[in-house]
Amino acid sequence: MGTDRMDGYVPTSHTRIDALLTLAHVGPGDRLVDLGSGDGRVLVDARQRGADATGIECNEALARESAGLVLVKDFWQHDWSPYTVVFAACSAQYRASIVSRWRALTHRDG
């Protein structure tokens, strides 16, 4: 993958995705949203575990690589409340904001 269309994009390895999905006990009955989903690799792995998975990506070039799995939009404008799992591979700065919003929207602890 070239860096010209994805400034700052670093794909998450399947090993790490598998570990995180295992830690979150993702499986049938879960609704997962991947914020900043890039090429959709988290969605593929979550769906293989039986979860309903949606991806949100603001970079159209990355979303095109997902074979139609990813919605192109600003994830801050998307309704997260229907989801049981929020996946976001991001910096600590964004992670704190995402956790805060998740808790406020869903009244969940984490």
Residues 9-16 have a mean pLDDT of: 86
Task: Look over the chain and give the mean of its residue pLDDT values, rounded to a whole number.
Answer: 83
Supply the pLDDT for residue 6.
57
What does pTM read for this prediction? 0.78
pLDDT higher than 70, residue 17: yes
Supply the pLDDT for residue 74.
84
CB 62 within 8 A of CB 40: no
Which residue would you say has higher pLDDT here, 78 or 49?
49
Report the alpha-carbon distance of residue 63 to residue 74 in Å, rounded.
12
Contacts of 106 by beta carbon, 8 Å cutoff, 6+ apart: 80, 81
